[in-house]
Amino acid sequence: MTPTRVLVLNSGSSSVKYQLIDMADRSRLAVGLAERIGEETSALHHEPLAGGGGKRERHGRLADHDAALEAIAEELAADGMGLDSPELAVIGHRVVHGGLKLTVPTLVDDAVLKEIERLIPVAPLHNPANVTGIRTAQRLRPDLPQVAVFDTAFHSAMPEHAARYAIDVETADAHRVRRYGFHGTSHAYVSRKAAELLGKDPSEVNLIVLHLGNGASASAVRGGRCEDTSMGLTPLEGLVMGTRSGDIDPAVVFHLGRVAGMSMDEVDELLNKRSGLLGLCGDNDMRQIRRRMAEGDAAARLAFDIYIHRLKKYIGAYYAVLGTVDAVVFTAGVGENSAPVREAAVAGLEELGLAVDGELNAAGGKEARLISPSYARVKVAVVPTDEELEIAEQSYALVASR
């Protein structure tokens, strides 16, 4: 029997998300989340999707990622889908930063782990958790291939003129300061699905992909390759996000240091965790912001307007980068669910060939769909992202090709 199952692990700083996917029919066998790892209030939410059984919860401290992964393995085992199962082909890990060297899905060995660790200074929140996740999985199933799929990979095709900051080259190179981009697995998956929706090969279409979740990023994709993306050295650059500022004059950092006496760490925390929609109006959930706007809340209105203004600037910029655009594609929590955001982002861009059909936009749904009127020169689409499936596809393809 050829094993066809892939366990996808997405280890964050205090959480592990997981999905067990059967590549024979791309079905999900189990999904779950271990959260608040390291705290007294840790929880594990586990849902077997094959063979019934229903959701299960575990509460109580999960000391570290090791403990979390062991608990996950136990839950899977209780459903007869444990890590020792002969049907498991590979464990696929989401790894946030692959730098310049790790640009394709990669079978993990010691040298690869070292390289992921070497990149910790440019991804201090994510790469350590990714390394721990891989090490624990290796300990639990030493004989099983582990594949790392990098968030930065899709953007490694970016031309030098988009990837470099205009700073002294020697300093930049000495410290690996350049634009890497993130959410790459999502941008890759969504680009491919959008091409499918347009009935074309990915190599034939130019797309502006807007991944609007709690983190948010835009990409200009020409013929299936990334030409530019809005996140940079870290996920802080670009669009207004849930809690991150996105683009800002770097002199704001010096100013806050000199005038407000803030330390580097304090400014880092301000821009990453207390800015964006949250900093502007006290809420980072678009649903809540829309509710407040309906009640006439001025701060929520302004936060929304700033968010849309930035989004529009990127649509315009990437239109210019690509020259011709086949579709603007919305994805992730806000992009998939917020009709008002989609409508506002495209409003007034008719001269660029862009328009949204009110009814199609409001209709909702879980499938990839067009929301532009038939006459629109540039299509507008909603394409639900599925980073876990993409990681599973890439991991499985790698082990199947060995």
Residues that bind ligand AMP (CB under 6 A): 213-214, 242, 284-287, 332-334, 337-338
- C-alpha span between 346 and 137 (Å, rounded): 44
- C-alpha span between 90 and 395 (Å, rounded): 7
Work out how close the CB of 1 gets to ligand AMP at its nearest, in angstroms, rounded to a whole number.
36
Distances (CA, A) of 166 to 34, 172, 318: 41, 9, 19
Q: Which is nearer to ligand AMP, 216 or 376 (CB)?
A: 216
Q: Which is nearer to ligand AMP, 287 or 377 (CB)?
A: 287
Given the residues 22, 151, 228, 326, select the one marked as catalytic.
151
Work out how close the CB of 342 gets to ligand AMP at its nearest, in angstroms, rounded to a whole number.
10
Q: Is there a contact between 40 and 68 (Cβ–Cβ < 8 Å)?
A: no
Work out how close the CB of 336 gets to ligand AMP at its nearest, in angstroms, rounded to a whole number.
8
Burial 12-26 (b: 16+ CB within 10 A, else e): bebbbbbbbbbbeee
Q: And the tokens for 250?
A: 């770097």
Work out how close the CB of 15 gets to ligand AMP at its nearest, in angstroms, rounded to a whole number.
12
First to last CA, the chain: 17
Phi-psi region of 395 (alpha: psi -120 to 50; beta: other; left: phi over 0): alpha
Work out how close the CB of 175 gets to ligand AMP at its nearest, in angstroms, rounded to a whole number.
29
Q: Which is nearer to ligand AMP, 190 or 376 (CB)?
A: 190
Q: Which is nearer to ligand AMP, 47 or 74 (CB)?
A: 47
- C-alpha span between 282 and 242 (Å, rounded): 10
Distances (CA, A) of 132 to 67, 93, 113: 11, 11, 10
305 classed as catalytic: no
**DSSP string covering 227-247:** EEES--SSTTSSS--SS---S
- Closest listed residue to residue 234, CA positions, set 122, 318, 136: 122
| All residues at 6 or more sequence positions from 217 whose CB lies less than 8 Å from its CB, including other chains | 181, 182, 183, 187, 211, 229, 230, 231, 235, 238, 239
Work out how close the CB of 58 gets to ligand AMP at its nearest, in angstroms, rounded to a whole number.
23
Q: And the tokens for 82?
A: 């444990």
Which helix or strand (DSSP H or E) is residue 48 part of?
strand 43-48
**Residue facing ligand AMP at closest CB distance:** 333
Q: And the tokens for 262?
A: 């803030």
Work out how close the CB of 70 gets to ligand AMP at its nearest, in angstroms, rounded to a whole number.
26
In this structure, how many other beta carbons lie within 10 angstroms of the beta carbon of residue 170?
8
Q: Which is nearer to ligand AMP, 76 or 293 (CB)?
A: 293
Q: Which is nearer to ligand AMP, 206 or 331 (CB)?
A: 331
Q: Which is nearer to ligand AMP, 191 or 284 (CB)?
A: 284
Active site amino acids: 151
